[in-house]
Structure 1
Amino acid sequence: MSGNLSLISAAQAASAVTEQVGGKGRQLGQLQRYGLPVPDFFVIPAGWSRQRSGGVSPDLQQLLHAELVARGWQGTALAVRSSAVGEDAAAASFAGIYRSCLNVVGAQALVGAVAEVWASLDTPTATAYRQRLQIDGEPAMAVVVMPLLAAEASGIAFTCDPANGRDDRMVVHAHWGLGETLVGGEAAGDEYVFAEDTTDVWRLLESRPGSKETMSVPAPDGGTQRQPVPLARAQVRVLDDAQAEALAALLRDAALACDFVAPFYDLEWVWDGGQFWLTQARPVTRRPHHTYPALAAQPAIWTRGNTCEVMPVALQAMDWNFSRRGCNDLLEQGWKLAGYPVLPGVQRAGLFDGRLYLEASIMQWEAWDCIGLLPERFNALMGGHQSVIATTPPTWRQRLTRGGNTLRYLRHAPAMGRRGDAEVAQALAIARELRDAPLPDNNADITALLFRVLKPAREFVGMFFLQGSGGGSLSLLLDTLERAFPGESEAIGSALLAGGEPSVTAQQGYALLDLARLAKAVAPGRLPQDAPEFARAFATFLDRYGHRGHYETYLRSPRWSEQPERLLEQLPALAEVDAVAMRARQQAAADAAWERIRRELPFWYRPLLRAQVKAANRDSNRREAARSAIISLLAASRRLWLLIGERLVGEGALDRPDDIFHLLPSEVERYAIGLLPLAGLRARLAERRALFARWQATTPHEWLTLAPTGQTAPQPPAETAPIKPADGRRFRGVATGTGVARGKVRRLRHPSEGLALQPGEILVAPSTDPGWTPLFLKAGGLVVETGGYLSHGAIVAREFGLPAVVNLPGILAALHDGDEVEVDGWKGVVRLY
């Protein structure tokens, strides 16, 4: 016998190395492990193929005969499929290159089929394909052996559009009988195209009938034969709407089980008259990058310059499920309002090493092509040190078009803003309604309850407009200031916005200060929460702001209402904050900026600037309000998912309720209705836990590039370091707050470390979100590695009149606790003394 080359079962194939079982064998084993309908099979290890010059050895013949007897497959029609090492991989599919044999009956026929499959390794076509892909070494081939399904119909499917790379489309081809005629291009089957609706269900978008003239069926003496399809049957769709959508749900589930980050697979399926089966899965190789034509030849630029503020650490599967579409929902509305032809199906969100990135190249292009915003200017608003796309000077026609887009935006924005205000109120009301709702007993009612949260989170375009496009008026203000005060627009804009009408985030901060004063007034030796006046005020605060919390954009993150002690422990230090002095600082900054405008600009500038400041303040506040509403929906969703998680723990499906965030909503639903077995659910959970642990152990790059063609993995640029003059003691970033502050450094990596921050110290953080707001009230100045002029931390720093500089990668490592620094919120400079 050839060494340790025993046959490998389907269960073993899932965890075997591809050098043993090949790409096809391992993928089929994993599909079966993940609870997908795959026929039972075994694999002949690839090592046996290295003896193929002498045919199938007696040792292997003996093994195969014994295996058929043990399985009772002596008279069963079998499918014998190639599973070469390197086949069905992400970079090389070998589709149509290697041989498969169908309707193989008996041990002797199986031996002949194995030899025939092995022989396809050495064909001129296979050799040329390996040479073209520069695959070196001796080729080896495992062989998959499984029962041949009684195929009423079969087909191939792509869980993206293989022609243009759109990931919001799924394409299925179907034909009567065996799939050979489709795979070999001998027959034109039906084509079905699916799109994802707002509830994440894949719906049939269109179907195109094929001629279906010839079909493949098993031959009486083994093998297959072609026969004509009766005209009446050829004219009938292979799948009706219900069957097609059931198949689409299965295919999407299979792709997500294999890779929920990039679920783009080429799958083969069979319908046996009673159920669908999966017989092959391979990643779609060299999927075209779906982008604007002007960007097709340029590298795709992916950045965390904005997302590392709201989602700084690794995402779990459920967080990614909401983020991948939510980013598009947020970022498209402003361009659509301006009448810009947004490319259908363009995807702006990506997940690399578990971190959320945005494709800056697409966003830079849309801002440039729609309103003429320079890519460099866009980067300053967004944050980050990513590169910029190449552009050409606009023609006069393009200038006119962009001017028209701007006017159209300005004309329609007020109505969309009012719609957004109404939807924010609706979202908060829905979240409040569901905050204490019990979990129903039946799955249909649970689904309806979750849909109450999902509907506004997918369909409230006005709310998305406020959150994603709230920087439009701020950008116009900065453009006006840049023309009047070149190089100083950011600092002057921050001063003009200081102390304006407070956003909901700033109101939250002021309410905390009021709570702190009430807590301080409680008699010594008595807990504040035992004092009636404080208890009422604290309950009111949690009623309004309890959905917020540290890293609140993650479903897994607890809310203040769940951990009120996080707030209570902050109150003693906040009681020492001089709110009157803080408001005076804000007003002084605004007064100084207006005085300079009166002194240096013509009088007719002032009405324009006042109108723009008012609009920027209003829209920044609306942006914060929309964020608060979205977070309230996330908090309601979190509560419902944890309740479902508790139920699944009781069923043995999960070990702890928050394990549910490693799963996708569709997977939970399929488990609940019996389409995903318990073992498959737990296998996916185990894989996701391990993947998440690997992600958490990685250090992400600030930005990445992806070549326009022929590259499957992003390439990191050289690490970006803080910009330093020759003296090495000054760091220049983006000025987002007002004034100048000097104090000792306090580095915090998470807001839960906030007790270490002493009043007046300079807070140095990797990123900030509204969960950091209590610390802004104590800090004398703010320095942040990430973020831009539109970041939430920048908005709140401006409101509080807090000297702040953001967009300084590496500053946490460059500074140490206790260092004395000066934060110049006017010049965007941090100086180390």
Structure 2
Amino acid sequence: MILELAEAGACPRDLVGGKAANLAEMTSAGFPVPEGFCVTTAAYRQVLAHGEGPRLLGELASVPPDAAGRSASRLRAHVLTVPIPERLETAIVEAYERLSPDGPVAVRSSSTAEDLPDASFAGQYDTFLGIRGAGEVLAAVRRCWASLWADRAVRYRATHDTDLAPTIAVIVQRLVDAECAGVLYTANPVSGKRSEVIIDGAPGLGEAVVSGAVTPDHYRLGVEGETVEGPEDGCLTPSRLSALAAVGRKLERHFGAPQDVEWAFDGEGELWLTQSRHITTLFPVPESEELRAYWSVNVYQGISRPFTPMGASMIRERQRGMAVYMTALGFSEEITDVDGWLYWDITEGVRNPAKRSKMAAFADSLAAPSGRIVEQLGRDRRFPSVPSGHDAPPKKRRRRWERMVLAWLWPDRARAEVVRDGERRIAAFAGPAEATADERLSFVESVRRDVCRIEADLPRDANTAGATGGQLAGRLLRGHVDESEVAAVFRGVPHNPTTEMDLALWRAATAIRRDEEALRFLLETAPGELAAKQLAGTLPDVIQQGVAAFLTEYGCRATSEIDFGVPRWADDPEPVFAMLSNLLRAEGEGQDAETRFEHAAAAAEARIVELTRRLPVTELHRAVLARFLLRRSRRLRGLREFPKFCLMRGFAALRTQLLLVGEEIVRAERLEQAGDVMFLDLAEVREALSGRDFQATVAWRRRLWERESRRPRVPSVVLSDGTAPALEADPGSGLTGLAAAAGVATGRARVIHDPDGARIEPGEILVAATTDPGWTPLFLTAAALVTETGGMISHGTTVAREHGIPAVVGVPGATALITTGQVITVDGSAGTIRFGEESR
């Protein structure tokens, strides 16, 4: 149960804990680590096995994470009072006397839930310095064990979704008589810059720096170890700073990732290392020898989670269909994947003045303020401009004006032709009803490209006519009408699949509301339980049939639906029941979504008349043509969302086939569950079907995906040195963004990070980092929308306009600067958010 620290490196992590394992590895690699010994987790388990320990552990396992506090406090009290077995006590005392008889030691916790790649647990478990004598050592060891159940540690484990009942080892080390100590980061933990070293140091023991008890000397070093920032009369000399930077870089190379290091110089000037762990907060970025800029595909697609491996492979295939257009704007031809975060290399567009403005306009139309950041980088001296004279402008396809004119003249016929074409293509993706797993996989392989490129393959003329008609009308009205007024014309647009989905869910809620017993049952039952009953077919008829009809039409959709690997609502309808519960609580005047939509459509028609009447009589011909184009554009605008809906239907069809293949691989015991195929690509699924066991691979990838999913923020633009350039936001007088949907609304903010299970009260203002179609049912009760990214043609803002709610998007840091419950006023015409009640 007692190991020399140098021996701990050869032991499993669950025996010695994260800190001891790292220190042992550093020792074996030749880094200067103070000698010591480890009281292993086996000792802790032996202590916990006595008395009430087993019962208390069982009690903890039976409660949900958010209710674990009381059980944890009982465990803590137990560990502090239960007797330590005599043989264990003797072994600890003898190891201490061999190390430093009556001398000062450091006693440090080393939990199995500590110093993980995605969660450092910094400061969550106890450390005791200057401990002297066997009695004090035993008491400190016991207190380290008890710190496993401190309130802060239990909450941290619950927040980071790690093991609620880990074990803990304890390290006892010779205490360094520190002249100066502190912490070292081999990358800037604030800016993310990998080429900077940050060092904080103060005289005496390093614990004072780590705990925040003193204000340390702060140093920032450059890539060559030169001091960029720091006091001239601080506790560290240039030679010591250089030595720290050098050892930090060695540790980074050894562990393969930027490190957070604790260090100390003793009175003889010798450097000692007392800890090294991953810096867990750095966002993953592509590595490059030269500085390069990247745009996040995740942000562009409106999702704040990493892609699954299958989803990443599908999105790459989808984007290849856009490669000619995208490369003409300065985007890289291929997408880079770093831990599920996908990036375009945009360095060429940033450096090329001829491409930069077009790239910026494209980026802002979908995910503002990305485009403004691109323009900002173009002025950065680190990205010198390249000559653009030899860059041939992208070839513009000749507009088929005659076909657009036909679409304007007969919009319903033009829309119907697109829908028929889409249905024909989707029918070809259905796949075999009866087939072997090999035949199913072959089918998926054969149609994958067609599914991923269906958006580009659908006829575009009617869709283009819908957008172009509004643009031409705006030009005809220029000088008499501003852009936001033209945008207001496109509220309540018909034939949009996403809007129709939201209204279908509202109708299902309305039917349930009429049945008092069903209404009460739904509101009193958890969404997860309702989903299980739905799949089992045991819900009250009005709920069962209403949700089944909804899923038949829209079960292909989901939050983050562009990721092929994400379960659809048909697979797991729990989010649908959460949204239904939200809608069923929306009662009162003005809350009927269908009525609101009809009113928005009527108001838009009246707006067309009002705007075109502003032209003088002498320009009557322009007014007549503008009115015609706006009305026809409204009839065709719903097609904006149709290609994406077709893609989701195609994805759902292929998922059905792949999951059946996954079931066959599970039966062969090469995967644990059918859904594991989403953590492979198609080539690997083929290998699994042929006999290769992928269980370990999938388990690792799933842990990585879950780790990355917990990241709180996703930067839209990042540089290869780790920095995330951003536009400064001043919340003093309010916030500004892109005016995306006209109107003004005042209400209490509701900041939501995940729509699945979220609730928004009628009249509240939805504030989110980004949205995709899976968020839009929340728009039915929201008074307005604010997002950190988004553009005029992104899915969320398109649907917000059609539901008639004001929207301001591309507001940097909105989810941090606005808090739930805060009263804000959103002006979707001016693109502003003001705090407090709007003056009248």
For the pair 1:809 / 2:815, whether they are aligned, the reply is no
Aligned to 1:387: 374
TM-score (norm 2): 0.54
Q: 1:544 aligns with which of 553, 569, 578?
A: 553
C-alpha distance in structure 2 between counterparts of 1:470 and 1:661, whole Å:
38
Superposed displacement of residue 669, structure 1: 0.8
Q: 1:606 aligns with which of 617, 623, 630?
A: 623
Aligned to 2:825: 822
Q: 1:716 aligns with which of 723, 727, 730?
A: 723
For the pair 1:514 / 2:532, whether they are aligned, the reply is no
Superposed displacement of residue 816, structure 1: 1.3
For the pair 1:302 / 2:294, whether they are aligned, the reply is yes
For the pair 1:652 / 2:650, whether they are aligned, the reply is no
C-alpha distance in structure 1 between counterparts of 2:248 and 2:603, whole Å:
73
Superposed displacement of residue 691, structure 1: 3.7
Q: 2:475 aligns with which of 475, 480, 483?
A: 480
Query: 1:282-321 alignment to 2 at 5 Å?
Result: 301-304=293-296, 307-321=299-313
Q: 1:408 aligns with which of 399, 403, 422?
A: 399
- AA partner of residue 506 (structure 1): T
- After superposition, the Cα gap between the structure-2 partners of 1:798 and 1:367, relative to the gap in structure 1 and judged at 3 Å, is farther
- After superposition, the Cα gap between the structure-2 partners of 1:138 and 1:631, relative to the gap in structure 1 and judged at 3 Å, is closer
C-alpha distance in structure 2 between counterparts of 1:482 and 1:350, whole Å:
44
For the pair 1:443 / 2:446, whether they are aligned, the reply is no
For the pair 1:495 / 2:488, whether they are aligned, the reply is yes
> Do the aligned residues in 2 keep the contact of 1:492 with 1:593 (CA within 8 Å)?
no
Superposed displacement of residue 483, structure 1: 5.2
Superposed displacement of residue 667, structure 1: 1.2
Superposed displacement of residue 623, structure 1: 2.8
Residue deviations 1:668-724, cap 9 Å, x none? 1123235xx43xx34533543454345335455524455xxxxxx354243444454
Residue deviations 1:656-676, cap 9 Å, x none? 3322222111011123235xx
C-alpha distance in structure 2 between counterparts of 1:533 and 1:383, whole Å:
40
Aligned to 1:765: 768
Superposed displacement of residue 779, structure 1: 0.7
C-alpha distance in structure 2 between counterparts of 1:368 and 1:472, whole Å:
25
For the pair 1:354 / 2:354, whether they are aligned, the reply is no
Superposed displacement of residue 799, structure 1: 0.7
Aligned to 2:656: 639
SS, match of residue 782 in structure 1: strand
> Do the aligned residues in 1 keep the contact of 2:670 with 2:688 (CA within 8 Å)?
no
Residue deviations 1:33-58, cap 9 Å, x none? xxxxxxxxxxxxxxxxxxxxxxxxxx
Aligned to 1:128: none
Query: 1:191-202 alignment to 2 at 5 Å?
Result: none
Aligned to 1:777: 780
For the pair 1:378 / 2:349, whether they are aligned, the reply is no
> Do the aligned residues in 1 keep the contact of 2:767 with 2:815 (CA within 8 Å)?
yes
- AA partner of residue 428 (structure 1): I
Superposed displacement of residue 630, structure 1: 0.4
Query: 1:645-684 alignment to 2 at 5 Å?
Result: 645-674=662-691, 677-678=692-693, 681-684=694-697
For the pair 1:789 / 2:792, whether they are aligned, the reply is yes
Superposed displacement of residue 740, structure 1: 1.0
- After superposition, the Cα gap between the structure-2 partners of 1:668 and 1:384, relative to the gap in structure 1 and judged at 3 Å, is same
Aligned to 2:595: 580
> Do the aligned residues in 1 keep the contact of 2:321 with 2:453 (CA within 8 Å)?
yes
CA RMSD of aligned residues (A): 4.9
SS, match of residue 735 in structure 1: strand
Aligned to 1:685: 698
Could you tell me which runs of 5 or more consecutive residues in structure 2 were left unpaired when the two chains were aligned: 1-5, 8-23, 30-245, 251-283, 380-384, 408-413, 523-537
C-alpha distance in structure 2 between counterparts of 1:617 and 1:498, whole Å:
9
> Do the aligned residues in 1 keep the contact of 2:454 with 2:647 (CA within 8 Å)?
no
SS, match of residue 570 in structure 1: helix
Aligned to 1:738: 742
Single out whichever of 661-670 and 457-466 deviates more from structure 2.
457-466
- After superposition, the Cα gap between the structure-2 partners of 1:532 and 1:502, relative to the gap in structure 1 and judged at 3 Å, is same
> Do the aligned residues in 1 keep the contact of 2:579 with 2:757 (CA within 8 Å)?
no
Superposed displacement of residue 549, structure 1: 1.9
- AA partner of residue 639 (structure 1): T
Residue deviations 1:270-325, cap 9 Å, x none? xxxxxxxxxxxxx9x97xx9xxxxxxxxx754223873543321112111111123
SS, match of residue 763 in structure 1: strand
- AA partner of residue 738 (structure 1): A
Residue deviations 1:386-429, cap 9 Å, x none? 2235899999x999x88x93643656778998886444222433
Superposed displacement of residue 350, structure 1: 3.2
SS, match of residue 742 in structure 1: strand
Q: 1:524 aligns with which of 509, 514, 517?
A: 517
- AA partner of residue 516 (structure 1): A
Q: 2:318 aligns with which of 326, 342, 367?
A: 326
- After superposition, the Cα gap between the structure-2 partners of 1:784 and 1:460, relative to the gap in structure 1 and judged at 3 Å, is closer
Q: 1:571 aligns with which of 560, 580, 594?
A: 580
Query: 1:463-478 alignment to 2 at 5 Å?
Result: 463=458, 473=468, 476=471
- After superposition, the Cα gap between the structure-2 partners of 1:652 and 1:368, relative to the gap in structure 1 and judged at 3 Å, is same
Q: 1:628 aligns with which of 634, 642, 645?
A: 645
> Do the aligned residues in 1 keep the contact of 2:312 with 2:563 (CA within 8 Å)?
no
C-alpha distance in structure 1 between counterparts of 2:674 and 2:660, whole Å:
7
Q: 2:708 aligns with which of 695, 700, 721?
A: 695
Residue deviations 1:743-789, cap 9 Å, x none? 111111111132x2111111111111111121101111111111111
> Do the aligned residues in 1 keep the contact of 2:329 with 2:349 (CA within 8 Å)?
no
C-alpha distance in structure 2 between counterparts of 1:640 and 1:690, whole Å:
25
> Do the aligned residues in 2 keep the contact of 1:367 with 1:378 (CA within 8 Å)?
no
- After superposition, the Cα gap between the structure-2 partners of 1:608 and 1:721, relative to the gap in structure 1 and judged at 3 Å, is farther
C-alpha distance in structure 2 between counterparts of 1:705 and 1:469, whole Å:
32
- After superposition, the Cα gap between the structure-2 partners of 1:792 and 1:704, relative to the gap in structure 1 and judged at 3 Å, is closer
C-alpha distance in structure 2 between counterparts of 1:412 and 1:639, whole Å:
37
Residue deviations 1:136-171, cap 9 Å, x none? 9999xxxxxxxxxxxxxxxxxxxxxxxxxxxxxxxx
C-alpha distance in structure 2 between counterparts of 1:458 and 1:655, whole Å:
31
- After superposition, the Cα gap between the structure-2 partners of 1:801 and 1:590, relative to the gap in structure 1 and judged at 3 Å, is farther
- After superposition, the Cα gap between the structure-2 partners of 1:766 and 1:594, relative to the gap in structure 1 and judged at 3 Å, is farther
Residue deviations 1:182-223, cap 9 Å, x none? xxxxxxxxxxxxxxxxxxxxxxxxxxxxxxxxxxxxxxxxxx
> Do the aligned residues in 1 keep the contact of 2:306 with 2:705 (CA within 8 Å)?
yes
Aligned pairs, how many? 530
C-alpha distance in structure 2 between counterparts of 1:478 and 1:316, whole Å:
43
- After superposition, the Cα gap between the structure-2 partners of 1:378 and 1:697, relative to the gap in structure 1 and judged at 3 Å, is same
- AA partner of residue 513 (structure 2): K
Single out whichever of 372-381 and 310-319 deviates more from structure 2.
372-381
TM-score (norm 1): 0.54
C-alpha distance in structure 2 between counterparts of 1:672 and 1:562, whole Å:
23
- After superposition, the Cα gap between the structure-2 partners of 1:507 and 1:345, relative to the gap in structure 1 and judged at 3 Å, is closer
